[in-house]
Amino acid sequence: MKQIRIHGPDDVRLDDIDPPDPGSRDVVLQVAACGICGSDVSWVHMGGSAGPSDQPMPLGHELAGVVDWVGADVDDISVGARVIVYPGTGEHGQIGSGGAVGGLTPSLLLRKARMGERVFAVPDGVPLTVAALAEPLGVGMQAVNQADVSPGDKVAVFGCGPVGLMAIATLIDRGIHEVVAIDLSPQRLALAEGLGAQTGLDPTTVDVWESLARLHGTSPFMFGPTPATNAFIEASGSDQVIGDILQHGRVGGRMSVVALHYRPVPINFILLLMKQFTIRGSMEYPPRFEDAIELLERRDLSSLITHQFPLEQFHDGLHLLQGSKDCGKVLITMGVE
């Protein structure tokens, strides 16, 4: 059996591994689709979630598939069930991102699996490829939760990779329509506008802050008016963006930081105090993971899947994300319907 695993910094391989050896409380999943996450790219560069190790690290945590085998003591999951995998920690262990198993494999062992905990049913009519979006959608949704927004608020989303796009999808679904998307990629900006963003801005061609003031109006500040944007979602990973938001944001503004920032980022605490600005981190998913699944049932987000590769072409998908990034969600698909 095949599995994508990291062996060291920038050394990721399609390995031959032993097939699953399940127990009575376990299930085995035929993986249909698994996304490549931006964090996966980081782990590849680092050589694994905790740096180089003598044990290869399996990759893949954004997945959906079909149950292929069920242990005798599992009473709430059936063979043939279409499911989304919850990859989080706890007694069930992590899937990918440092866990013992990863979803970039045709057959995945899920220990102590229970419906509504480790796996969730795919809604009728939702393709398994789209169901694999539940995990990144949950990440984007939690970023919106942390921004504490409501209808009538004006929001700017910096970075329109998959998580930023999922945040935009969540905002639009919640009736927040004055949403501006900021990114360097024309394709990602087009995807954001397709979701319902009022416009997309490329910071290399326009002044983002002048544009936000024009689109969202202005708010008074002692050193001059600022854009009246209520909240910002930082999904770009650019260290400069955090300082720019604090410098140009309004009094009483809010920022949710969901992008991975590995280096210390300078903060002007005088501006933080004067503006009574709120900065909140965002990690993982909403308290109720089903919220993301239900949004997938309400809204067709299939347009966000721009590239699909078979497992044998994983490196092509990785190269795309490491290079131009002019893409939406990149999926690895296994031919399971």
Instruction: Give residue-wise pLDDT tens across range 299-326.
Output: 999 999 999 999 999 999 999 998 878 8
The pLDDT > 90 percentage for the chain reads 90
pLDDT for 50 equals 63
Q: Residue 53: which pLDDT band, with cuts at 50, 70 and 90? A: low
Q: Is the pLDDT of residue 337 over 90?
A: no
pLDDT at 97: 85
pLDDT at 90 over 60: no
CA angle 194-198-202, nearest 5°? 85
Q: Which CATH architecture group holds 136-281? A: 3-Layer(aba) Sandwich (3.40)
Give the pair of three-digit tokens for residue 334.
């296994």
Q: What is the pLDDT of residue 93?
A: 74
The pLDDT of residue 275 is 97
The whole-angstrom separation of Cα 313 and Cα 185 is 23
- Spell out the residues 6+ positions from residue 44 whose beta carbon is closer than 8 angstroms to its own: 6, 9, 10, 12, 59, 318
CATH number for domain 2-133+301-333, candidates 3.90.180.10, 1.10.1040.10, 3.30.1360.40, 3.90.230.10: 3.90.180.10
The rounded distance, in Å, linking the Cα atoms of 184 and 41 is 19
> What is the residue extent of each domain of the chain?
2-133+301-333, 136-281
pTM: 0.95
Residue 52 has pLDDT above 70, yes or no: no
pLDDT for residue 194 is more than 70: yes
Beta pairing partners, 66: 30, 82
Do 19 and 109 contact (CB within 8 A), yes or no?
A: no
d(CA 287, CA 172): 20
Is pLDDT above 60 for 135? yes
Tokens 């290869």 appear where? 56
240-298 tens-digit pLDDT: 999 999 999 999 999 999 999 989 999 999 999 999 999 999 999 999 999 999 999 99
User: What is the pLDDT of the chain when averaged over all its residues?
Assistant: 94
Q: Does residue 160 carry a pLDDT above 60?
A: yes
Beta bridge partners of 120: 84
| Cα–Cα distance measured from residue 11 to residue 113, given in angstroms and rounded to the nearest whole number | 31
Rounded to whole angstroms, what are the CA distances from 117 to 86, 88, 159?
7, 10, 31
Is 298 within 8 Å of 173 (Cβ atoms)? yes
- The DSSP bridge partners found for residue 154 are 178
